[in-house]
Amino acid sequence: MKKDFSLLFISLFFVLQVFGQQEKPNIIFILTDDQRWDALGFAGNEIIQTPEMDRLAEEGIYFENAFVTTPICAASRASLLTGLYERTHGYTFGQGDINQPYMDQSYPVKLKEAGYFTGFFGKFGVNYPGFSTLFDKGESYDRNGKFDDRRGYFYKTIGKDTVHLTRYTSQQAIDFIQEAPADQPFMLSLSFSAPHAHDPAPLQYFWSEEFDTMYQNITIPDPELGEDEYFMEQPEYVRSGENRTRWFWRYDTPEKYQHSVKGYFRMISQVDAEIGKIRKVLDEKGLAENTVIILMGDNGYFLGERQLAGKWLMYDNSLRVPLIVFDPREEGGIRKSEYALNIDVPSTILDYAGIKVPKLWQGVSLRSPKMKNRKDFLFEHLWQVAIIAPSEAIRTERWKYFRYINDPSHEELYDLSLDPMEINNLAADPVHQKTLNQMRKKLEKKSNAYLKAKIE
């Protein structure tokens, strides 16, 4: 009798455990590479065609003021993994491997510990020798730097066919969803290389042939702030730096500008089409009603503004990104104006999974009422490299202040309430010296706090 009761108890415990796992939502986190905030139809862009991303925004929550804390892929992706500012986790290009203590509490580790079946496909972007242990299934790959032509994007195969990396990543996602265990919730991270330019190639942008005719009969308007005066206002080390070098690669003639921006849009539209295929599989598997989808860009992007290209700088072109959270179980069609950061995404993922957020993390869940309490936040780009000047900034609802770390005498101050395009630098204006000093002190205080939070 006791034996039978014990077996019944064990069986009941197992059933309840499986039931509990099935009640947890599946989570898909989609990260695009270099997609700026307004490269999205829902954001008001009347040229780009992104019906699937727009549908996610229409049915979910669209964050109107979403930013990355560091406008470069390596540091931003480390922040997305760890929930920490660059100043705390200390990782960017040229820093070796990311420190193990930060990865020990990264969101993939926490999800796996909580019983999620986890996967990652695409550009990991962070040097970490333990990648193979982070996920139940995963593959890390990016553009192939061995080639200076379309093969940078066309080198992976499905069956015997060589396909664009965007198509390849989508197929890995579809296979993962089809094969995921029925008795576990899954968490899938998808990191598309697109729309990142293939830097070694003269043509820069590559897409699948079915997108060849998209945008071909459209003339892309000239970039805002494209006049000489806005370029000449930059310090010499910006005018001669990598932002200018890549402008020559992509935008320095009208023909090159049209090709590059259309190529950039085509690559985003291709990612969009693949998202539609993934959502169709979720529907067919009966998983759509219990799968949360989060979509974000890893940093912003210059499309010729100020006669610059790339990212890295403290202007909103570099910092502002699309961010959408779609939960089919909750009311959608919501636009939120609160400031949302990349460091908030891992906390949001854990929140949906019902997992306690590590105390060290510096972001908050995008579902938390604490979002409304964010009054200021830090931006930083700390990589010490000759071709890109490192810089740091602080932003409040009204003001943005930034300076270059190796040239702190060059300061920029903008009243965003009157000057959202950051045209009129008020740092030298006697009327605004009190505000300048206040913002400088805010930046230094916050910077020191995040530096002290490092795990030694």
Instruction: Express each pLDDT in 412-438 by its tens digit.
Output: 999 999 999 999 999 999 999 999 999
**Is there a domain that residue 6 lies in?**
no
DSSP 8-state assignment for residue 202: S
Give residue 454's pLDDT: 87
**Is there a domain that residue 399 lies in?**
yes
d(CA 98, CA 141): 18
Residues 6+ apart with CB under 8 A from 154: 162, 163, 164, 165, 206
Q: Quick check: helix, strand or coil at residue 30? A: strand
Instruction: Give the CATH number, domain containing residue 165.
Output: 3.40.720.10
d(CA 82, CA 107): 7
**Is there a domain that residue 280 lies in?**
yes
For residue 352, pLDDT beyond 70? yes
Domain count, the chain: 1
| Bridge partners of residue 378, in order along the sequence | 394
**Is there a domain that residue 335 lies in?**
yes
Cβ pair 138, 152 in contact under 8 A: no
Percent of the chain whose predicted confidence (pLDDT) is above 90: 93
Q: 107: domain range?
A: 24-452
* Residue 340: count of CB within 10 angstroms of its CB: 25
Mean residue pLDDT across the chain:
95
Give residue 17's pLDDT: 39
**Is there a domain that residue 18 lies in?**
no
d(CA 170, CA 175): 9
**Is there a domain that residue 9 lies in?**
no
**Is there a domain that residue 14 lies in?**
no
Give residue 441's pLDDT: 97
Average pLDDT over residues 168-181: 98
For residue 9, pLDDT beyond 90? no
* Residue 19: band (very low, low, confident or very high) from pLDDT cuts 50, 70, 90: very low
Q: Is 9 exposed, middle or buried (0-12, 13-18, 19+ CB in 10 A)?
A: exposed
* Residue 23: band (very low, low, confident or very high) from pLDDT cuts 50, 70, 90: confident
For residue 402, pLDDT beyond 90? yes
Q: Is 369 exposed, middle or buried (0-12, 13-18, 19+ CB in 10 A)?
A: exposed
* Sequence-ordered alpha helix ranges (H) in 24-71: 51-59
Give residue 4's pLDDT: 52
- Tokens (6 digits) for 44: 């008001």
Give residue 8's pLDDT: 45
Q: Quick check: helix, strand or coil at residue 122? A: strand
| Residue of 441, 386, 447, 439 lying closest to 70 (CA atoms) | 447
* Residue 22: band (very low, low, confident or very high) from pLDDT cuts 50, 70, 90: low
**Is there a domain that residue 51 lies in?**
yes
* Residue 88: band (very low, low, confident or very high) from pLDDT cuts 50, 70, 90: very high
Give residue 16's pLDDT: 41
Q: What is the pTM of this model?
A: 0.94
